[in-house]
Structure 1
Amino acid sequence: MKKYIAYAIASGLLLTAGWPSHGFPLLLFIAFVPLLLTEHQISQRAEFKKKGRKIFGLSFLAFIIWNAIVIWWLHFAKETDANGDLQNSWLAYLIPVIANAFFMSIVFQIYHWVKTKAGNIYGLVFLPAIWISFEKLHLNWELTWPWFNLGNGFAKWYEWVQWYEYTGTFGGTLWIWVTNLVIFYYLTAYINKKEINYLNKLGIFGGLLIAVPIGISYIIYANYEEKGKALHALILQPDLDPYNEKYMKDGLQIYDELKQLAVKNMQPNTQFVVAPETAIPGSSALVFDNLYNDLIIQDIQQWTNSKKDLHFVTGASVMRIYPVASLATESASVMKDGITWYDAYNSALQLGSNDSIQIYHKSKLVPGVENFPYRSFLMPIIGEFMLNFGGTTKTLGTQPNRSVFKNKTNAAAVAPIICYESIYGEYTTEYVREGANVLFTMTNDSWWGSTDGHRQLLLYGNLRAIENRRAIVRSANSGVSAFVNQRGDIMKSLPYGEQGALNGTVLMNSELTFYTKYGDVLARVALLIMGIILAYTLAQKLLYKQVKKKNIK
């Protein structure tokens, strides 16, 4: 059994060593092989009892090592202790680590069951299908946490996956699983038969599976020409401490400092000034139905209207008030007076050049931070406990459709992507299908300090540039703020922890990629394959029981 524990640990460490931002993704092509060998050999050995439990436990060991090391930075999130002091939140770290490893282990356990009942070939086809289906679920349910979706593993080595414009990140997931399974197959054949021919085939087919997609990607990368008219933007990076400044400091003072940063760094050709998530008004919130009368909004309109072709796109905390309970939405909360209800929004605004105010409410919310998952079921169990990131402990309001910011003075059609939303591939295509020709990402990912948290989010988000062939203008509260071109290259950036502003130019592309048009086709095919094989396996099991029952009689 010690050998299999070592195998499980090896898989966990290989997955970790292959992961962004410091890993080398070539390791991902062999990372699952030790775990696959573990499952196969335990299944074949008669002396092992309760094989399913052993396989579940060993897979959980592998996955918890991967999860625990890769998102170690999550524990740097702060929470207030009994004395009112900020301390590291181990709960914010342990819950996603344990839960995600548990879900992955369930997926692997179902694969083991199908392989045992339906046969090896069915099992090996079923495994990529159920894993992709699990990743698709993780993109859409209320416990959404797609941080470990395998296609994200190439985010730093994006030159390898330029064909994401056809497949999205699920193409990367399929690539990793098929390569691991081919290597596992020939390695197992060699272990069983000791014929060198199987090692030769392992090297040939494994090498081709890795090299050919990379080669195709580099050809696409070298030959892709950016398209569209130029857009000139100024990115603001205020670098406010999210715990001791951003939501404690006076909102007017925060805005005034942001404005000075913008006015000081604007150039004659600047068309857009972009500020980060919840950049205004700081410690309070704008009132949705009174925006035009807000002093900050009026001041923004005044200085942007002084220049013909200037717009200000920013993140903002927005509140909508309902004077009576009957008008309140499901996400609304009651104020301290017990009578007035309100919705809190994490929003994006576009103002300037005499256009009307345009607004978008963030709709992919961070579970446990901005959204109470399965609220009606869980709230009676755990109460109103939420992690206090971003100035709210309530479920934020959302909107059903994506908004695109357009204007009267230039061709820009802006996708206002807010923080966590940037890691959702098909979700982002909704902006582009609505006409967006450039992506603006507004984020505040400085809750974890100078760790891999903000670096991973930056790299994951840059994959949206490849999928949609849309340039990205990214404004982060503390960094990294950046201009990213349509190939996923970071052209200019401001480092983490530096206050400043950055001028740059991107191109606005209006052509739609295959992925933009059709989305997660691979995931839909995987769901179909998983369903067919699962139904077949259940039918086989039911038939076997009926035959056995008849024979007994």
Structure 2
Amino acid sequence: MKKNLILAIFSGLLLWLAWPPTQYITFLLFVGLVPMLLAMESIIGSADKNKGKQIFTVTFVGFFIWNVLSIYWVYNAVKMVGEIVAIPISLIPYSLGPLLMASACWLYFRLRVATNRTVGLVGLVCFWIAYEYLHQSWPLAFPWMTLGNGFAVSHQWVQWYEYTGVYGGTIWIWLINILIFLFYMSLSEAQTAIHRKKIVIAFFAGLILPLGFSLTRYYAYRELLNPSNVVIAQPNIDPYAKEFNIPVRQQIGILTHLSDSLAQKNTEYFIWPETAIPDAFSEDHIETNGSYQQIKSFLNKYKNGNVITGAETYKIYNTQQTETARPMDGNQFFDSFNTAINIENSDNVQFYHKSKLVPGAESIPFASLSFLKPVFAHLGGAAGSYGSQPEPGVFYTQSGIGADPVICYESIWGEYVGKAVLKGAQFIAIITNDGWWENTSGKDQHLDYAKLRAIENRRWVCRSANTGISAFINQRGDVVKHTGWWVRTAIKDDINLNSDLTFYTKHGDYLAKIGTFFALLGMIWILVRIKYTPRKKEIAA
């Protein structure tokens, strides 16, 4: 048990070292899971009892180390509720992913003992993909640690994400790790030279062909010229002081001044960060809002100008029109939204309500279980969830340009962003406020993941972050311009709009759905085996 635990811990450390924002050692992803596979193999081949329990425990420890070291910054986002409370709350995102990862490994064990090593390893990849897909789909969604995200700092290696999305990266990592593991086992089991040769050939083909295709695609890719001038403002307003210490008019003044400092007469977009308009206002009466009027006055100088900005908004209903609507005085109800707004030189105002809400802080997971509300309230959430909209939105200018408004956390969802591109978005506008995490690797990871959205859809990404890091990312995933952290500044560039659709944009997370389908078949097979295998013949689980 001790040896296997050390192997699992070593695996967790290798994965952490390879994880963004670390550069130059991404290749460790190709060996990081090998010690974990060896630990599981050792347990399966032992005479010990309770093998399934051992596998679950050992793999959980290894993956817990990987997760905690990679997303330690989650603690910074919740410590405002108090140092004592922050630690147990942080354990939720720290532990939930590893629990699901360990469950995938336990299912691998059950399938392995019911079939053989080859079927078991194929099942392991499917179980893992099913876990990743679940962890981006259910109310506790947190797909930050999807394996395919690990190539974000080496985006030149995965230009084929335009066909597969990040799940292609997950499969690639598992494939190479499994082939190395099989080669090691062929040596320890004294298998034939021909068998080892086949593994070596498969290894080099599996590593070099995707890498070679990607590098060729990267250096050969040329953007079609279709320029649009964009200015990104980074106001650098402390999120803890944003709502109370700085007057709203002054905050909008900072943004308009930054925008003016770089704008041209032909500037078409000004991108401002999440909740740049901090005072909540009614969407039905936006024309009377002082911030809106201030922005309209600013746009008078730019005939074709559009401001995409974040805001806190609400809508009032006479009946409870949505599940998230909360009661107010006078037998009315209201929904609060984390909103992106497009304001232009006309009376037309477009709204998009954040859909992928942060569990706890913006939504109450499993809201029907009322006893959980006090727990999640400690994460900064209200008594009820924010309102949302079920589908992504696209902002259109008067000239017909389509922009995909993506609010903060939503930029981790490849398929969701792709749906907006499929609807006509010609570039992606990410607005965020990463200041809650302070100067940690969380802000860098968030920026790195945006590169993958650019590759998947072959769209420029214009990223405005309140305290940084704001950036322009081209269609190959290169960060062509970026700001520093915790500075008040603005940047501008001529981006190329694109209307072509990639295979991934059209088909989304098809690999995840296929993998989940086979994972379900595997689980059914396991249940059948457990039900009809006599206990005396069953290997202890």
Question: Does the CA-based 8 Å contact 1:190-1:196 persist in structure 2?
Answer: no
1:428 paired to 2:423: no
Instruction: Give the distance between the partners of 2:425 and 2:372, measured in 1 at CA.
Output: 42
Aligned residues of 1:355 and 1:407 also touching (Cα < 8 A): no
Change (3 A) 1:153 1:191: same
Relative distance call for 1:177 and 1:128 in structure 2 (3 A) is same
The one of 461, 480, 483 aligned to 1:491: 480
Matched, 1:501 2:502: no
CA 1:538 to 1:446, structure 2 compared with 1: closer, same or farther past 3 Å? same
CA contact (8 A) 1:231 1:412 kept: no
Cα distance in 2 for residues equivalent to 1:249 and 1:483: 28
With 512-521 and 533-542 compared, the bigger mean Cα shift is at 533-542
The one-letter amino acid paired with 2:306 is: H
Q: Helix, strand or coil for the counterpart of 2:5?
A: helix
- Give 1:396's match in structure 2, choosing from 386, 390, 415: 386
| Matches for 1:79-228 after TM superposition, within 5 Å | 79-80=79-80, 89-193=86-190, 203-228=200-225
Distance 1:198 1:28, change over 3 A: farther
* Equivalent position of 2:516 in the other structure: 527
The 5 A counterparts of 1:48-447 are: 48-80=48-80, 89-193=86-190, 203-246=200-243, 248-280=245-277, 282=278, 284-322=279-317, 324=318, 326-335=319-328, 337=329, 340-354=332-346, 356-377=348-369, 379-383=370-374, 385-389=376-380, 394-409=384-399, 411-447=400-436
TM-score where L is the length of structure 1: 0.92
Contact kept, 8 Å, 1:315 with 1:348, in 2: the verdict is: yes
Deviation of 1:368 after TM superposition, in Å, equals 1.1
Unaligned runs of 5+ in 2: none
Q: Distance in 2 between matches of 1:179 and 1:380?
A: 44
Q: In 1, are the aligned partners of 2:256 and 2:298 still within 8 Å (CA)?
A: no
CA distance in 2, matches of 1:195, 1:143: 47
Choose the corresponding residue for 1:470, options 441, 448, 459: 459
CA distance in 1, matches of 2:81, 2:144: 28
Change (3 A) 1:189 1:504: same
Alpha-carbon spacing, 1:357–1:107, altered in 2? closer, same or farther (3 Å) = same
Deviation at 1:214, TM superposition (A): 0.9
Gaps of 5+ in 1: none
Tell me which residue corresponds to 2:37: 36
Q: Report % sequence identity.
A: 38
SS at match of 1:417: strand
Deviation for aligned residue 1:294: 1.5
- 2:248/2:291 contact within 8 Å kept: no
Cα distance between partner residues in 2 of 1:90 and 1:40:
34
Asked if the contact 2:364/2:373 (under 8 Å) is kept, the reply is no
1:457 to 1:221, Cα distance in 2 relative to 1, 3 A: same
Asked if 1 retains the 8 angstrom alpha-carbon contact of 2:320 and 2:326, the reply is no
Deviations 1:514-544 (CA, angstroms, capped at 9, x unpaired)? 0001111111221222233333343344444
Deviation at 1:79, TM superposition (A): 4.3
Q: Distance in 2 between matches of 1:463 and 1:81?
A: 33
Distance 1:542 1:54 in 2: 22
Aligned with 1:144: secondary structure? coil
CA contact (8 A) 1:239 1:479 kept: yes
Match of 1:510 among 480, 499, 515: 499
Q: Is 535-544 or 480-489 further displaced after alignment?
A: 535-544
Offset, 1:95: 1.4
**RMSD, aligned α-carbons:** 2.4
Q: Judge conservation of contact 2:110–2:526 (CA < 8 Å) in 1.
A: no
Contact 1:190 1:198 in 2 (8 A): no
CA, structure 1 residues 264+141, in 2 after alignment: closer, same or farther (shift >3 Å)? same
1:132 Cα offset (Å) = 0.7
Q: Which amino acid aligns with 1:209?
A: G
Once the two structures are TM-superposed, the CA of residue 119 in structure 1 deviates from its matched residue by 2.3
1:265 Cα shift? 2.8
1:158-210 per-position Cα deviation (integer Å, ceiling 9, x unaligned): 00000000000000000011111111112112112277777666554333322
What residue identity is the alignment partner of 1:6? I
- Paired positions, count: 537
Q: CA deviation at 1:486?
A: 0.5
Give the match's secondary structure for 1:157.
helix
Give CA deviations for 1:436-484 in whole Å, capped at 9, x if unaligned.
1111110111111111111001111220100000111111001111111
- Give the partner amino acid of 1:7: L
> What is the CA-CA distance between 1:365 and the residue it aligns to?
0.6
- Give the AA of the match of 2:69: I
Is the contact made by 1:187 and 1:202 (CA closer than 8 Å) also made in structure 2?
Answer: no
Q: 1:380 to 1:81 in 2, by over 3 A?
A: closer
